[in-house]
Chains A and B, each alone.
Chain A
């Protein structure tokens, strides 16, 4: 139980295009989802917290107009990187929690974004 999936696992795009990454909780309802980014050989940095049906809360320094987050349902959150640039290339990881599972964050497998 407590499986979180991400799609796609890997994406390569041209500079200036937008990319959407999906995060799904497969066997539980996620009241809250988190989005992290991780640069090579570095730790995870929280980008934003999203609650189903409400606007995401972004961390300081994260551009909300560039990283659009939509938590459309209790099992799906999407992160759209708009007008991507090479500096946006990173590993993006989502996590999800539900109050009925002890509040533990369960992580997805990550999405590797490469912007050419």
Chain B
């Protein structure tokens, strides 16, 4: 079975600072990996996904993530945080096909300070 661990339930950064949200996965087969963002009382919006193509994946809103098989990691980064980036971020994994059932991490609440 696959699983995802997000290190740090809360991350706080200053506006303009680097954003780094950590995600490690466990999977017995090559995984598909996703990052989603959730604003309060809303559904999830896909930021980016890894589907075994390029290991460095660029997403929307300036976010990117790098798949590192040796470290079983898929950390999310953004060079410069904006106030509007404050939200809950979820890492998720699926196997088989990228549209298979998703297993989510516990989420990381990102706070951006002015």
Complex contact A43–B106 (CB within 8 A): yes
- The A-B contact count (CB < 8 A) is 54
Convert B78-98 into 0s and 1s, putting 1 for each residue whose CB lies closer than 8 angstroms to a CB of A. 000000000000100000011
Q: In the complex where A43-B104, A43-B106, A44-B104 touch, is A103 in contact with B46 (Cβ < 8 A)? A: no
A42 at the interface (CB under 8 A from B): yes
B positions within 8 Å CB-CB of A = 36, 41-46, 49, 51, 90, 97-107
Nearest Cβ distance between residue A32 and chain B, in whole angstroms? Answer: 7
Give 6 nearest A-B pairs by CB, closest first: A103-B99, A107-B43, A97-B99, A107-B44, A103-B98, A109-B43
Complex contact A46–B102 (CB within 8 A): yes
Which A10-45 residues have C-beta < 8 A from chain B? 32, 34, 42-45
Q: In the complex where A42-B106, A43-B104, A44-B104 touch, is A99 in contact with B42 (Cβ < 8 A)? A: no
Contact partner of A105 (CB less than 8 A), chosen from B41, B102, B103, B106, is B102
Complex contact A107–B90 (CB within 8 A): no
Chain A: number of interface residues, binned into ranges? 20 to 34
Cβ–Cβ < 8 Å partners of B98 in chain A? 102-104
A positions within 8 Å CB-CB of B = 4, 6, 32, 34, 42-46, 49, 91, 93, 95, 97, 99, 102-110, 112
Nearest Cβ distance between residue B25 and chain A, in whole angstroms? Answer: 14
Complex contact B46–A104 (CB within 8 A): yes
Complex contact B41–A44 (CB within 8 A): no
Cβ–Cβ < 8 Å partners of B43 in chain A? 4, 6, 93, 107-110
